[in-house]
Amino acid sequence: MKKIYFSTLLLISATYFSIAQTKTAHLNYKQLVESLPAYKQAQDSLVKITNSYEAELKHIQEEYKIKTEAFAKDSMQMQALIKDQKRKEIKLMEDNYVSFRENAQKDIDAKREIMIDPLVNKIREVIIAVAKEKGYSYVMDDNTQGYIYMSDVDNIADAVKKKLGITK
Please report the pLDDT score of residue 157 as a whole number.
80
CA-CA distance, 101 to 146, in Å (whole number)?
37
Contacts 24+ apart (CB under 8 A), 108-111: 108/46, 108/49, 108/50, 108/53, 111/45, 111/46, 111/49
Its pTM stands at 0.69
Q: In a structure prediction context, what are the per-residue pLDDT tens digits for the chain, which is 168 residues long?
A: 555 544 554 455 445 544 556 788 888 888 889 999 999 999 999 999 999 999 999 999 999 999 999 999 998 999 999 999 999 999 999 999 999 999 999 999 999 999 999 998 999 899 888 888 888 888 888 887 655 455 566 678 888 888 888 876
Please report the pLDDT score of residue 24 as a whole number.
84
Domain boundaries, the chain: 2-164
Please report the pLDDT score of residue 148 as a whole number.
45
